[in-house]
């Protein structure tokens, strides 16, 4: 634990089924989360080897403030992505961050390939590699249930990560499901687990730490908590949740629809946060250590027999999944979105990439670039049943078409044509068609996420709208966000943890004795993280924005190619400066 003056790492070799516990004082200066994962990739990673090389590491990290404050509860996974071969991160909530803290694991580094399908159990007083041959081929839901039954201990204090069939089949955008309804979703971490024959990981959080920070910590915690729960800074996340974005985006030409042929969808009210809340919301639940509760669970009752026979589905929904399985596919019925999300959840495949892939396939079929011989089902925007089949074909890589599509939309488009309308910004686009700054910010973001540099907010709010101002904004956001994801905070808490509040939190647990200047540290970590990415071959100057992104009306009108090129040029220069510094 960081406050004890060292970083505690469990290094596991799957080939031998053995682990090693390391205490490292020298790693404290990288903080945790993003900073620590990059530092560990430098040690363990094989930058020039295939992402599926057995010795490529999966690096799970938490940070110095995990567990010590509310919303400091996320975990980072650093790895070499099979999607494009670069070093990247993906982040997840659920119980994982908290359970890693109580397993006394600041980092878990997994290397090697198991000799047979296996799952790993790690806690403060246990570590074992168990036989998972009986779990191979099972969906994510059944897998977790089987593990809970077999490892019947530490109820409520364990976190279960697992892959579904898409991870086993090494689809390049297969995710890792974390507990129930949270994910290391993007960039194919699930495929890396699949390549290691690692079906699941169970972390048990079963130890305790004495707090030795004195009354100022208790007082500060109370103040922080009161502000968090007593004010409305977080209310939107609990209320409608992120699907509250659907209608504002729709009303501002920003909701990607029908493979981005449009930025609004007729009938979008049917997939709005308001519609979900009024008709399908079962309950909200929280990640461990977060009093907000932003996880919205939808309940759908379906009739399957004539004699009043029903079953029900329960699955979480958020803006991104609703965009990906809704507007992007032309679907405006919330019930159909729930059915698709349930399928995606079980197969363990990234929902955003899946939605964009199926949307591209639909347009490619419309335009005659592919036929039903390839797609096997007659996709049509707005018709969900075919997409339900599509999720299965993608996960199971049924034929050559799905094998290629499972490599990413760009790969499929380079084979069949249709590059112009491949909605890929580094990876398949997130659900914000706000304008050119968002498009560039996702394409060039460290993990190709809308959360890296928040370009969509610049599109939405900037008064002086120039590439130069956009660059300034993105750099500033990135610097602060990488600090938060090194703590590891949920990025929804960015309005709570202002730089001043974060500094106070840092001091209240005595960490200022280790690292004094957090601003300076943030910049160091930002630079270091990019250097690690460059070591795997990343070249910002190769950034491409497909033509579709300039052909559609956004909040900022039709994005100009000139504006996009200028911003790519500026950001490339800025990143290359980091490389040389």
Partner 1 sequence: MAKIMRAVEMEKCIGCYSCMLACARQVHGSLSLERSGIQIFTRGGLTAGFEAVVCLACKPAPCVEACPTEAFQQRKEGGVRYNYESCIRCGACGEACPVDAIIMDREKEEPVVCYHCGHCVPFCPHDCLAMREGAEGKRWEGDES
Residues that bind partner 1 (CB under 8 A): 67-68, 70, 98, 101-102, 145, 155-157, 179-181, 205-211, 218, 221, 225, 229, 282-293, 295, 297, 314
Q: What DSSP state is assigned to residue 559? A: P
Q: CB 155 → partner 1: shortest distance, Å?
A: 5
Closer residue to partner 1, CB minimum distance, 71 or 440: 71
Q: How far is CA 234 from CA 138, 256, 292, 490, in A?
A: 37, 26, 7, 12
CB of 208 or CB of 581, closer to partner 1: 208
**Angstrom distances, CA of residue 138 to CA of 147, 163, 347, 351:** 12, 9, 9, 19
Nearer to partner 1, 72 or 322 (CB): 72
Provide, rounded to whole angstroms, the least separation between the CB of residue 314 and partner 1: 4
Nearer to partner 1, 288 or 488 (CB): 288
Q: Yes or no: say if 352 and 305 are a contact pair by the CB < 8 Å rule.
A: no
Q: Are 228 and 290 in contact, with CB atoms under 8 Å apart?
A: no
Q: How far apart are CA 205 and CA 11, in angstroms?
A: 17
Question: Of 2 and 421, which has the nearer Cβ to partner 1?
Answer: 2
In whole angstroms, the minimum distance from the beta carbon of 253 to partner 1 comes to 35
Name the minimum Å distance from CB 217 to partner 1: 9
Q: Please choose, from the candidates 427, 391, 408, the residue with its C-alpha nearest in 3D space to the C-alpha of residue 164.
A: 391
The DSSP element (H or E) to which 386 belongs, if any, is helix 384-396
Integer Cα distance of 221 and 510 in angstroms: 14
CB of 375 to partner 1, least distance (A): 34
Smallest gap from residue 333 Cβ to partner 1 (A): 22
Q: With beta carbons less than 8 A apart as the criterion, state whether 186 and 353 touch.
A: yes
Report residue 5 as tokens.
């003056």
CB of 210 to partner 1, least distance (A): 6
Q: Which is nearer to partner 1, 95 or 196 (CB)?
A: 95
Count other Cβ atoms within 10 Å, centred on residue 302.
12
Taking the least distance from each CB to partner 1, the nearer of 297 and 376 is: 297
**CA pair distance 504, 516, nearest whole angstrom:** 12
Report in angstroms how near the CB of residue 317 gets to partner 1 at its nearest: 13
Tokens of 302: 């379906």
Q: How many residues does the chain have?
A: 581
Token pair 């490389």 is found at 579
Q: How far is the CB of 285 from partner 1 (least distance, A)?
A: 5
CA distances from 386 to 329, 361, 377, 405 (A): 11, 11, 6, 16
As measured in angstroms, the least distance from the Cβ of 211 to partner 1 is 5
Residue written as token pair 């929904």: 317
Output DSSP code: residue 242: G
Which C-beta is closer to partner 1: that of 31 or that of 292?
Answer: 292
Tokens for 235? 């209310």
> Which lies closer to partner 1 via its Cβ, residue 315 or residue 440?
315
Nearest to 436 by CA among 551, 328, 287: 551
CB 402 within 8 A of CB 408: no
Of 241 and 270, which CB lies nearer to partner 1 in the complex structure?
241
Task: Give least dist CB 141 to partner 1, A.
Answer: 9
Q: How far is the CB of 431 from partner 1 (least distance, A)?
A: 24
Give the integer Cα–Cα distance in Å for 539 and 122.
37
Contact present, 433 and 554 (Cβ < 8 Å):
yes
- Give yes or no for a contact between 75 and 96, defined as CB atoms under 8 angstroms apart: yes
Which residue, 210 or 542, has its beta carbon nearer to partner 1? 210
Dist CA 327 CA 315 (whole Å): 18
Measured on CA atoms in the order 352, 186, 348, 92, is the torsion positive or negative?
Answer: negative
Cβ closest to partner 1, residue 299 vs residue 501: 299
44 or 237: CB nearest partner 1: 237
Query: What is the spatial distance between Cα 199 and Cα 130, in angstroms, rounded to a whole number?
Result: 10
Kindly state the smallest distance separating residue 360's Cβ from partner 1, in Å: 33
3-class secondary structure, 230: helix
């Amino acid at each position: 634990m960081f406050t004890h003056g060292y970083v505690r790492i469990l290094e596991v070799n799957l080939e031998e089924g053995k682990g090693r516990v390391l205490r490292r004082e020298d790693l404290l200066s990288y903080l945790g989360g993003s900073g620590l994962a990059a530092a560990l990739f430098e040690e363990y990673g094989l930058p020039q080897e295939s992402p599926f090389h057995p010795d490529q590491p999966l690096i799970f990290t938490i940070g110095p403030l995990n567990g010590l404050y509310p919303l400091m509860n996320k975990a980072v996974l650093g790895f070499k992505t099979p999607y494009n071969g670069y070093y990247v991160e993906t982040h997840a909530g659920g119980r994982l961050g908290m359970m890693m803290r109580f397993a006394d694991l600041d980092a878990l580094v997994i290397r090697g390939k198991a000799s047979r399908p296996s799952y790993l159990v790690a806690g403060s007083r246990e570590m074992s590699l168990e036989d998972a041959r009986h779990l191979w081929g099972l969906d994510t839901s059944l897998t977790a249930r089987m593990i809970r039954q077999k490892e019947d201990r530490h109820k409520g204090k364990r976190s279960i990560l697992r892959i579904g069939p898409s991870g086993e089949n090494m689809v390049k955008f297969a995710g890792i499901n974390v507990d129930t309804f949270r994910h290391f979703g993007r960039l194919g971490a699930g495929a890396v687990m699949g390549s290691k024959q690692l079906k699941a990981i169970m972390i048990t959080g079963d130890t305790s730490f004495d707090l030795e920070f004195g009354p100022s910590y208790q007082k500060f915690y109370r103040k922080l908590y009161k502000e968090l729960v007593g004010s409305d800074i977080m209310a939107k996340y609990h209320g409608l949740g992120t699907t509250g974005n659907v209608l504002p985006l729709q009303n501002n030409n920003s909701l990607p629809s029908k493979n981005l042929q449009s930025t609004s969808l007729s009938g979008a009210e049917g997939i709005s946060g308001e519609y979900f809340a009024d008709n399908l919301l079962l309950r909200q639940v929280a990640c461990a250590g977060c009093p907000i509760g932003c996880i919205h669970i939808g309940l759908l009752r379906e009739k399957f027999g004539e004699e009043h026979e029903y079953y029900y589905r329960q699955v979480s929904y958020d803006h991104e999944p609703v965009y990906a399985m809704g507007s992007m596919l032309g679907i405006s019925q919330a019930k159909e979105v729930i059915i698709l999300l349930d399928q995606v959840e079980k197969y363990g495949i990234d929902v955003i990439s899946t939605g964009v892939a199926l949307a591209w396939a639909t347009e490619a079929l419309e335009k005659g670039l592919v036929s039903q011989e390839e797609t096997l089902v007659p996709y049509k925007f707005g018709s969900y049943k075919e997409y339900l089949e599509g999720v299965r074909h993608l996960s199971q890589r049924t034929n050559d078409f799905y094998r290629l599509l499972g490599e990413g939309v760009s790969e499929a488009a380079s084979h069949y044509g249709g590059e112009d309308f491949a909605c890929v910004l580094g990876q398949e686009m997130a659900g914000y068609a706000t304008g050119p700054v968002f498009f560039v910010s996702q394409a060039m973001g460290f993990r190709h996420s809308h959360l890296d540099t928040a370009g969509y907010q610049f599109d939405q709010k900037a008064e002086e709208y120039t590439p130069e101002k956009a660059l300034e904004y993105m750099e500033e956001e990135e610097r602060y966000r990488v600090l938060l994801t090194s703590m590891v905070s949920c990025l929804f808490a960015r309005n709570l943890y202002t730089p001043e509040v974060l500094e106070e939190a840092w001091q209240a647990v005595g960490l200022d004795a280790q690292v004094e200047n957090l601003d300076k540290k943030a910049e160091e970590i930002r630079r270091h993280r990019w250097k690690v990415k460059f070591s795997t071959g990343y070249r910002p100057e190769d950034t491409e924005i497909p033509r579709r992104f300039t052909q559609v009306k956004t909040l900022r009108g039709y994005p100009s190619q000139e504006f996009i090129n200028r911003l790519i040029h500026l950001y490339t220069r800025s990143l290359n400066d980091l490389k040389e510094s």
